[in-house]
């Protein structure tokens, strides 16, 4: 079989560098291009004809990039956070029109995926829950895409929500009925705690990404997976 031709957009960023290495080290993949800010994404697609484009750029650019990838008939794997529900709807419709698949995943770590799956189980048994997420100081979005997706999963899995009392100024933001506390500090990378509270007990589910190499298996899995599906998948499946 011919190798999967993969383009990487955001190639000079930390995750772009990791993605390029992941593609080069995968026996069934071939790097079609690595582009970055200021490069012509559509022109690169036309010139090198990838089957999949992985995007790790910025929240302000991700929607236009995603639509450009799809409009060229190429399957997107989007690791950039920042797509709104309205934009996800537009992406979903465009993928359906083109009859191709696309994946939007705020986190490619196996441990993070399992953390969210475990949180969905906890949501069936606890009404009260809060999320604490910590990232490096240069992360531009807060809360993180992983925290937002976790809150959505928890909200969908329980019959009602309960917000703890206290000063709104010090209690974090509310997303999908769940309070999320975002910490941005040097020395951090990617960490999240999901804390459930019940009468006389708490349940804490914690995940820590120690290095960006933890994302490599998920990136490779997503590239292979996106060739098998039609329509939009949000989050990787475990």
Positions marked active-site: 135, 139
Q: Find out whether 81 and 59 touch, Cβ atoms under 8 Å.
A: yes
Residue given tokens 């990232």 in the structure block: 135
Cα distances (Å, whole numbers) of residue 137 to 22, 83, 111: 25, 21, 22
- HEC per residue, 153-209: HHHHCCCCCECCCCCHHHCCEEECCEEEEEEECCCCCEEEEEEEEECCEEEEEEEEE
Q: Cα separation of 76 and 205, whole Å? A: 31
Q: Cα separation of 17 and 34, whole Å? A: 9
């Amino acid at each position: 079989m011919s190798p999967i031709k993969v383009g990487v957009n955001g190639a000079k960023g930390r995750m772009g560098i990791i993605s390029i290495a992941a593609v080069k080290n995968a026996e069934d993949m071939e790097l079609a291009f690595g582009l970055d800010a200021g490069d012509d994404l559509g022109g690169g697609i036309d010139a090198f004809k990838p089957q999949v484009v992985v995007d790790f750029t910025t929240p302000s650019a991700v929607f236009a990039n995603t639509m450009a990838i799809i409009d060229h008939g190429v399957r997107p794997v989007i690791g950039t956070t920042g797509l709104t529900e309205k934009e996800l709807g537009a992406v979903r419709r465009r993928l359906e029109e083109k009859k191709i698949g696309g994946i939007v995943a705020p986190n490619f770590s196996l441990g993070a995926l399992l953390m969210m799956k475990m949180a969905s189980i906890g949501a069936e048994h606890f009404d009260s829950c809060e999320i604490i997420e910590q990232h490096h100081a240069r992360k531009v979005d807060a809360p993180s895409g992983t925290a937002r997706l976790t809150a959505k999963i928890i909200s969908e899995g329980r019959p009602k929500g309960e917000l703890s009392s206290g000063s709104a100024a010090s209690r974090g933001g509310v997303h999908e009925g769940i309070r999320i506390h975002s910490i941005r500090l040097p020395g951090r990378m990617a960490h999240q705690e999901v804390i459930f509270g019940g009468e006389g007990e708490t349940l804490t589910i914690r995940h820590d990404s120690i290095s960006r190499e933890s994302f490599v298996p998920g990136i490779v899995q997503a590239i292979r997976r996106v060739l098998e599906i039609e329509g939009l998948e949000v989050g990787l499946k475990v």
